């Protein structure tokens, strides 16, 4: 068939052009809508409209990226089928062949399907998000990227770990809702326990009252008391309930202030007796 013989013959070409144009327009519209949504959310976060701003922002961006990918493939497949139909190609037979081929590929790539399904559930169940500090088996670090197949984690040494989503059986998230800064301090057995607890409590109150740290501490610090005791030492445990991700900084600040307070009060921490191999 010569499409250029009559104006009627040009109709399939016109319909193909309309299909392609509509697919491109829908893709642009969807991308514009998701970017507009993320932009408005970012503006609301800057204005302090949300308490869990960083988490909400990260999750929205992740879902928007995944939705864009789904929309792209959906529009591409739909437009391709419609164009082939306009060209007179038997779409039904093509779909049947594609279905059989897809089933064969899917059977041979079950681990890939498992990874993708796990990635979808991770995102939509909000198990963790970009910027969260998580632990997966023996890997602990900050999530840099979540894909449908791979999660990327950067540990404290700067190593970037690539973990397949389908292999993640359990994950610990230190960045959801709240966290606990747990500090154990070991003291020489000769120290007075009540005096030590009093000093620790006062240091905890000072940090809670400090404007720099007050917004990061959700509750008053708790001096839980003795957790271990022996003929050489005793251990006192203190906890702070903090906003996610700040437990380590608060723990370091607390230890530093305690060290200064103990030095002033003459409190001695546990001294390890080292054996000289030359003796």
Is the Cα dihedral 189, 191, 196, 199 positive or negative?
negative
Does position 238 have pLDDT exceeding 70, yes or no? yes
Structure tokens at 275: 């054996």
Task: Over range 202-208, report the average pLDDT.
Answer: 94
CB-CB contact of 103 with 150 (8 Å): no
Q: Which CATH number describes the domain made up of 179-265?
A: 3.30.70.100
- Residue 258 to residue 227: CA distance in whole angstroms: 18
Lowest mean pLDDT among 5-14, 62-71, 125-134, 183-192: 5-14
pLDDT at position 210 is 92
CB-CB contact of 222 with 154 (8 Å): no
Task: Over range 70-98, report the average pLDDT.
Answer: 71
**CB-side exposure of 40: number of CA atoms within 13 Å?**
5
pLDDT at position 154 is 95
Average pLDDT, the chain: 79
**CB-side exposure of 157: number of CA atoms within 13 Å?**
4
Q: Which residue has the higher pLDDT, 186 or 71?
A: 186
Q: Which residue has the higher pLDDT, 215 or 106?
A: 215
pLDDT at position 196 is 93
**CB-side exposure of 44: number of CA atoms within 13 Å?**
15
Share of the chain above pLDDT 90, in %: 33
Q: Smallest Cα–Cα separation from 38: which of 9, 3, 65? A: 65
The H-assigned helical ranges of 183-273 are 193-209, 211-214, 247-265
Q: What topology does CATH give the domain 126-173?
A: SH3 type barrels. (2.30.30)
- Does an H or E element contain 69, and which? helix 53-86
Q: Which residue has the higher pLDDT, 160 or 127?
A: 160
* Backbone phi and psi for residue 192, each to the nearest 5 degrees, phi listed first: -80, 120
pLDDT at position 222 is 93
Where are the domains positioned within the chain? 8-108, 126-173, 179-265
The single-letter DSSP state of residue 47 is T
Does position 116 have pLDDT exceeding 90, yes or no? no
């Amino acid at each position: 068939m010569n499409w250029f013989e009559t104006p009627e013959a040009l109709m399939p070409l016109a319909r193909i052009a309309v299909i392609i144009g509509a697919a491109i327009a829908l893709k642009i519209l969807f991308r514009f809508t998701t970017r507009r949504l993320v932009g408005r959310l970012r503006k609301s976060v800057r204005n302090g409209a949300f308490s869990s701003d960083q988490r909400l922002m990260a999750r929205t961006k992740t879902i928007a990226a995944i939705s864009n990918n789904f929309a792209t493939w959906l529009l591409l497949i739909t437009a391709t089928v419609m164009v082939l139909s306009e060209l007179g190609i038997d779409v039904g037979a093509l779909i049947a062949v594609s279905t059989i081929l897809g089933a064969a590929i899917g059977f041979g790539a079950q681990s890939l399907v498992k990874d993708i399904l796990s990635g979808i559930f991770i995102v939509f169940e909000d198990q963790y998000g970009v910027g969260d500090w998580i632990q997966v088996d023996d890997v602990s670090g900050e999530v840099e990227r979540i894909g449908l197949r791979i999660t990327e984690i950067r540990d404290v040494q700067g190593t970037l770990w690539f973990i397949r989503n389908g292999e993640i059986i359990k994950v610990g998230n230190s960045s959801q809702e709240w966290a606990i800064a747990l500090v154990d301090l070991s003291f020489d057995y000769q120290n007075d326990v009540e005096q030590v607890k009093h000093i620790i409590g006062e240091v905890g109150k000072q940090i809670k009252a400090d404007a720099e740290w007050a917004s990061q501490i959700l509750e008053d610090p708790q001096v839980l008391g003795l957790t271990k005791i022996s003929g050489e030492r005793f251990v006192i445990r203190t906890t702070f309930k903090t906003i996610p991700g700040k437990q380590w900084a608060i723990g370091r600040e607390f230890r530093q202030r305690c060290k200064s307070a103990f030095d002033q009060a003459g409190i001695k921490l546990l001294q390890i007796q080292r054996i000289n191999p030359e003796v």
